[in-house]
Structure formats: structure tokens, C-alpha cells
Chains A and B, each alone.
Chain A
Amino acid sequence: MSASEEQNSPEAEAPDEEEMDVETSEPIEPLKPEEGKNGAGATIFLFFILGFAASLIVGWVVFPKLLYSKKIQPINFNHALHVAEAAEGCESCHYFREDGSFSGVPTISHCIECHENVNGEDPEEKKFVREYVEAGKEVPWLIYAKQPASVFFSHAAHVITAKMECVACHGPIGESTETRIYEENRLTGYSRDIWGKNISGIKQHSWERMKMDDCADCHMQKATSEKESGVQQSLTRQLREMVSVAFPNVMEVKKGSSVQTEKDACFVCHK
């Protein structure tokens, strides 16, 4: 703030000298204690509770309902049936390509191998053949585990090198007989599976939430031990670090490669 601007303020324009124009405060009384003070206090408290309760309901019940839109998959897909029928189980449709990339959800050209014509009685199959196979259109599947554009995820690293089970991230979807409702966050466009079914973000199974922190947790564990967890893990980690400092040749503690965080560097999972 500079002097010149302050002086531009209208107060600089000759304050009025006339007494009449000058506003002077009038003496006033201090507030009188109100009558029925206790009653008023209770009312105020009641309203506080009301507001408190209302906001809890809005925040915990109404808000999640508003936040997510519910969408139904274009075709009600039966995983269990397909797994049983397909020769190579899951890998029949979800396989690695030669370049190491993962096929993900199969395209219509893959489905046609079996469903060029209607095979059975299922009305969903009929719908599928009629609306997509015959029209040569891809099915606009809603992907529960869709990656954001900023993420690079190597299925090969996790499934082949680290030998992780699909279930760890995707849950027992292979056993499902029908597609569940896809919930999409109206603000972010993310699948609800990312934040977790539970609005508070608490998860019981590893696949129930797939935020960056969930990746990071696992990557931190990998850096120390694969089986231990919690306190035990941090204790052994401390111990290993001490040993590694004393005898660097005997034990090497794998620190993450990031200079900033000492976790795995950002470019491991981001693109």
C-alpha cells in the first residue's frame, strides 16, 4: 500500500469542520441481562444440536448419494459362466500382449470369436449380438478399475514379476454372475471403487480402495518385507537399517529411489 493511494481516498477530501456533520457516539447502556435466561440458553443449545445432527445426516447419508451417479452396464455380464466355459479361464479374455501390455477388457473382435451368432437362450447374449456384434460397435463397458490418465500401471510387473493375484486389486470379480452397478463420482468422473465403497474411505479388503496411498502402502511394504505388517514391520525395518549402516556389505536396506520422499520415485507409476 502506498502513500499516494491512501491519499486518494475520499477522506482526504477535507473532513468537514462543522460540528453538525460530525458523527459523535451517543452514550448507551450496557446490555441488560435477559429475562428467562435459562430458557433461552436451552433453546440455543437445542438449535446447536439440531444443526449438528442435521449436518451429520447430510454429510454421511445424503452427500454420498448425491456425489455418485449410478450407472448400469450395457450388458449384464456373467463372469462365472465365462470363466467356466472359456478354455484358459481368465486369460482367455484378459491376457498379455507381446509387447508386455495388458489387454484389459476385451474388444468386440475378441468376443466375436465365440459370439458371432447367438449361442444360447440368454436375452443378454441376444442383446449383445444384436446391438454390438451385428452393428460392429464396441461395448461401452464401464470400467470399475479405470486408471486415471496420469497413471501408468504395469500388469506385467505386478502379475508376472511380483506374482500378485488378480484378486488383490480386483476382488473376486471372476466369481460374479452379474454386473454390479457402476457408481461414478460426479465431480471427478472416477469409479467409486477408487475411493472405496465406504464413504469414510475405510477398507476391509485390499481391493476395496485403490487410491495412490494404497499403491504407496504396498510399495513401502515391498521395500522391507512382504509378509510382515504394522508394528512388526517397522521394527524389523529399523533393525535392518541399523545393521545395514554397521555392515553395509551384509545387509542392504532397500530405500525407495525418490530423493524427495525416499519412497519409490513418482515416475514408477506416473506418466
Chain B
Amino acid sequence: MDSALIPQGVNRCPLWKFALGIAIVGAVLMWGVYAMMLVWIKGLNQTNMNDAYGFALWIWADLSVIALGGGAFFTGFLRYVIGINDLKNIINYAVIIGFICYSSAQLILGLDVGQPLRGWFIFWHANVHSMLTEVAFCLTAYFGVLCVEYVPLLLENRQLDRVPFFHNLSHNLHEIMAVFAATGAFLSFFHQGSLGGVSGVLFARPFGFREGVFVWPWTFFLYTWSAAACGPCFTILITKITEKVTKKKLVKDNVIQILAKIAGWMLATYMVAKIIDTIYWATVTAPSKGFDLMTFYSNNPLYGIWILILELVVCGIVPAAILITPKWRGNPRGLTLAMILAVIGVCLNRWVMILQVLAIPVLPFENWALYMPSWQEIATTILPVCYGIILIMISYRYLPVFPQEKELNPIAG
């Protein structure tokens, strides 16, 4: 029925199956939408956040999706600015994933503020000292860039492409994509960094605060770096999952290997920086405020030293080692494992840098504050996941996302 919209020369599942898929994911999405409406109408009392946890699951989700969406800016940077041409075979998908991540982030932010109708104050009454201001401006600007990057792909839809205006527009946009990629990388550098600054500048929160080493606040660069390292991992991971689901090979191995190798080296260097940071913080910064390292990891039922080991070793050093070793990287299982670990690692880092910061009592006579999200928070966090799946399903079905698909999957006859 919708065959007129499907790109030429590729196979897609029957419409009913597609519709069923959309319907099932859509049902979960509607659950999220219901929770979202509850939150907007009744207020943030629908969450389990409290005065100790002003930032919680949502902000974690926000920071995580932005880190994971970092694949878009970094792949774009590599493809258009550095000029690694092979990456053109995955860039479309990286852009779509980035677009989903960033639009999700904005949606979550819209939910998270207590007064969404006044959200625009962040632009109109901006405070230049605040990390969030920088985040808001760069994030919005970069989302604009992502839209511009997504548009040409949309216009390549068979029906839209027939309109000469759209056809030309798409072509021209492709021509100048390098400019946008560079802008995107620039903006991303800042907002990824500012997100790192969010906890890094909290000088009265010794667990989050970072100073010294090279530049203040050090978390600024760590965040940019980790996003550049783990974003592409996420892009690869989603590509692999898509291949699994569609039972097709969509991107050639050499493309994946190039990206994985770069991500690996980014991750490895990031880990060096992160370990230096951790050592400096644990031995200089925190003790100067009266905190032994172990006070951050004891006297509570959740946050033990295991979390530091998990983040740095299991989800940091291990995937970095796999990715920079050609033999291990070449092994599909090794590659997948590394991708999963890297993604978990960056999400865990964001969790720790937001939620653990708030969990740790700073006043000596206060206790650890623990928190369990409400179903409304969970539903609204799953909502963007569903939205992402649906957008990927639609994009994959109707747009020529993978340039190598036709070549890798010739239609018999």
C-alpha cells in the first residue's frame, strides 16, 4: 500500500507488520504521554523527586541521551571536517540517532522544569554565569543544526524528491553540509562541556566539584571527550541492533571498524584523563574539603566503591582495550561487548555525576538521601525511547538511510 514511499531497490516488511510494530511501541508511548500529561497538569509532585533530589532520573536521562547522541556531531566532524569519506555510509543514521536524542532531551527538559510556561526565561533572562544557560543556548542551536542535517535525508524520500524544489534544496544542503557539521561540532563541544560543568562547578558539593589539573572545570572537557568516545559507540550499537532486527547487513564492516577504532582511541585517552582526574580529586580536591574518598562510598545501601570500579574499569578500560586492539575489535562479539560496556559506562558516569552528587550528605549531621523514581518518571523516560524506536522505524522504512543497503542486499530477480 505504501510502496510508493519506499526507497527504490530495497525490501521492507509488509505494511501490516510495520503498523503492528508501530502500534505496540505506540501503546507504550501513549503510557508515557499519559504520565507526561499528569506531570504537566498536576505538577512535579507526580515524581519522587524531593528537596534533596532536585535533579534525578530525568536529568540523568537527559545527560545520557545527549552523551549518546554525541555520535552525530563526532561522526559528522570526522566525515565532513576531517574527511573520512567511508563514514558517509553511517552518517545518516548517526544524524537520525542524534536527532532523536536531542529532541528527547528537550522534551525531558520541558517536563523537568517546574514552570514549563516560563521555560523561555532561560533565553530571555539568561544568566551568563550559569552552565545551564550555556547548555540551553548551545543545545537549542545544535538541535537546529541537527534538523538541518536531517532535512536532506527526509527530502530524499521518493515522493518528496520528485518535487524539483525539494530535490534542489536537498542537493544544495548536501553541498554545504560541512559548514553545518563544523558548527555542530563547535556547539557540541560547548554544550557537552557545559553539561559537564553542571556538577563540576558546584563548589559546595565536594563529590561533583572539580578544579585544577589542567583547566577549570575539568569536567567540562571530560564530558565532551566521553561523548565523542561513547556517542559513536552508541551509533554502532544501534546500527548493529537494526541489522539484527531487519536481518540485513546495512553497513559494511570496514566502516564500522573505522568508527570503532576512532571511538576506541577516544575512549582510551578519555580514560587516561578520567583516571588522572579521579586521582587528583580523590587525593587533593575532596580531602581539602574534609572528605576521605571512602566517605563518598560508605554508610549507605547503594553507592559502594563498586560503582567507581564498574565505571572506570569494567565500562571504561575494558571497552577501550577491546576497541584499540584490532583483533578483539574485529571479533563481532568483542565489538558488541565493547559497545555495550562503553554505553553503560557513559550512562553510569552521568548517573554518578548527578545523583550520587546529591545523595551524599555535605552537612555532617545529615544522612544519605536515597531515591526511587515514581512510575510517572519511568514512563516519561521510556516515552522518548518509544518515540525513538518509532522514528527509526519510519525513517528506515521510507528513507534511504543506509547507502550500502542496496549493494549489500540485492533484490533477487
Contacts and interface: CB of A to CB of B under 8 A. Distances in A.
Asked if the two chains touch in their complex, CB atoms less than 8 Å apart, one says yes
Given A6-B245, A7-B244, A12-B244, A26 B388 contact: no
Contact of B13 (A3, A6, A15): A15
A9 B13 contact: no
Most-contacted residue by chain B among A5, A27, A260 (CB, 10 A): A5
A258 to B, nearest CB: 11
Contacts of B164: 31
A2 interface: yes
Interface stretch (B18-26, B45-53, B147-155, B313-321): B18-26
Interface in B1-49: 2-15, 17-18, 20-21, 24-25
A22 B14 CA distance: 5
Interface string A22-36: 111111101100000
A11 interface: yes
Nearest to A25: B6
Contact of B246 (A1, A3, A15, A27): A15
B58 to A, nearest CB: 15
B81 to A, nearest CB: 27
Given A2-B385, A7-B245, A24 B411 contact: yes
Size class of the B contact interface (CB-based, 8 Å): 35 or more
A44 to B, nearest CB: 12
A140 interface: no
Contacts of B382: 5
Contact of B7 (A2, A25, A31, A260): A25
A24 to B, nearest CB: 6
- Interface size bracket, A side: 20 to 34
B385 A28 contact: no
B247 A15 contact: yes
Contacts of B244: 7, 12
Interface in B215-267: 237-238, 241-242, 244-247
A21 interface: yes
A6 B127 CA distance: 39
Given A11-B21, A23-B11, A31 B4 contact: no
A21 B16 CA distance: 10
A25 B2 CA distance: 8
Given A1-B389, A3-B237, A25-B3, A31 B13 contact: no
B174 interface: no
A7 B158 contact: no
Interface in A54-99: none
B163 interface: yes
B289 interface: no
A15 to B, nearest CB: 5
A123 to B, nearest CB: 45
B17 A16 contact: yes
A9 B14 contact: no
A84 B213 CA distance: 76
Given A23-B11, A24-B6, A5 B389 contact: yes
Interface string B147-182: 000000000001000111000000000000000000
A10 interface: yes
Contact of A24 (B11, B24, B65, B129): B11
B100 interface: yes
Interface string A135-149: 000000000000000
A22 B12 contact: yes
A7 B8 contact: no
B14 A7 contact: no
B14 A1 contact: no
Given A1-B100, A11-B393, A16 B385 contact: no
Given A22-B12, A23-B12, A1 B393 contact: no
A234 to B, nearest CB: 20
A62 to B, nearest CB: 23
B12 A16 contact: no
B369 interface: no
A28 B4 contact: yes
A6 B241 contact: yes
Given A10-B20, A11-B246, A3 B340 contact: yes
Contacts of B246: 11, 15
Contact of A11 (B13, B100, B129): B13
Nearest to A10: B21
Contacts of B65: 1
A22 B24 contact: no
Contact of A22 (B13, B25, B241): B13
Contacts of A16: 13-14, 17
A37 to B, nearest CB: 11
A85 to B, nearest CB: 47
A231 B213 CA distance: 46
A51 to B, nearest CB: 19
B12 A10 contact: no
A18 B5 CA distance: 21
A1 B13 contact: no
A9 B245 contact: yes
A1 B7 contact: no
Interface string B77-109: 000000000000000000000001000000000
Nearest to B161: A30
Contact of A21 (B3, B7, B10, B13): B13
Nearest to B65: A1
A6 B8 CA distance: 26
Given A2-B385, A7-B244, 9 more contacts: A6-B242, A7-B245, A11-B17, A15-B245, A16-B17, A23-B11, A25-B4, A25-B10, A26-B3
The 6 A-B pairs at the shortest CB distance, nearest first, are namely: A10-B21, A25-B6, A31-B162, A21-B14, A22-B11, A6-B241
5 contacts: A10-B25, A15-B246, A24-B10, A26-B3, A27-B8
Interface of A: 1-3, 5-7, 9-12, 15-16, 19, 21-28, 30-31, 260
